[in-house]
A and B are shown apart, each in its own frame.
Chain A
């Protein structure tokens, strides 16, 4: 019973104390242990943004190329100028 009570008190305490961050404060140096593990995550995030956009532009370009080829083929079939 004591353990349950203690757990409940600690959980409530944690909920009351947990506050969201309201501002960013700059510092000049970060402890070395903090810098290394974060680097792969930062690189992964930046790489994903680049890859996602490049993939999307490529897909868009292909779709546009296909539609324009359809227009050319249909225009030729109908014997009229491309719209």
Chain B
């Protein structure tokens, strides 16, 4: 995976550079017009935030059972990326909402649950940063809890009354909308994998530093 890193990052960069052209050629949506084009840079990071939260929870659960540091490294990396992709989704969303709904933010079930889930993963990172010895176990438990909320975030728009578009929007997209969306999604996904690889490498190197410190103290 480490050898594929430059290739992945290059492919992601290429997609990001060409995505605005592909998106500009997509048709305007009937009720929202130009501002709907934020969708192509809002939905992929939002979806990756949910997937990343789930992935982090799974890795944390495996870590709690097997106690192998590698799973913890991956979980820690995934938690950080959940926060980064979540921040992007939560900034681009209000920019879209301002024009489409007339407000920056509403305490809608989807928005509120997304914010809460994002805050769980911010807590995870704070716990890892300031929790001291043993915080990885507590953080792993928190990540499992965060993972459990992610399916609810996804289906919240179908359960409760909301002004956020439903989950039926994406599967029923006309081809002209779907092509730029999945193109942008591919770019975000490649970027996610590249950043995850880099972030896991950082954890690996930190573990190596800890070992060297122990050796130097002996």
Contacts and interface: CB of A to CB of B under 8 A. Distances in A.
Interface residues of B, number: 54
Contacts, number: 135
Interface string B60-93: 0000000000000000000000001001100110
B198 A64 contact: yes
B45 A18 contact: no
Interface stretch (B50-58, B118-126, B169-177): B169-177
A25 B96 CA distance: 17
Contacts of A30: 28, 33-34
A24 B36 contact: yes
B30 A25 contact: yes
Given A20-B163, A52-B88, A60-B202, A45 B95 contact: yes
B112 interface: no
A42 interface: yes
Interface string A13-46: 0010010111111111111001101110110111
Contact of A34 (B34, B84, B172, B213): B34
Contacts of B84: 52-53, 56
B173 A45 contact: no
Contact of B35 (A38, A48, A50, A56): A38
A56 B82 CA distance: 13
Interface string A44-74: 1110111011001100100110011011001
A60 B195 contact: yes
Given A45-B42, A78-B215, A24 B34 contact: no
Contact of A70 (B34, B195, B209, B215): B209
16 contacts: A21-B31, A21-B169, A22-B172, A24-B36, A24-B169, A24-B177, A35-B33, A41-B35, A45-B42, A45-B92, A50-B16, A56-B195, A64-B202, A67-B206, A70-B212, A83-B212
Interface of A: 15, 18, 20-31, 34-35, 37-39, 41-42, 44-46, 48-50, 52-53, 56-57, 60, 63-64, 67-68, 70-71, 74-75, 77-78, 83
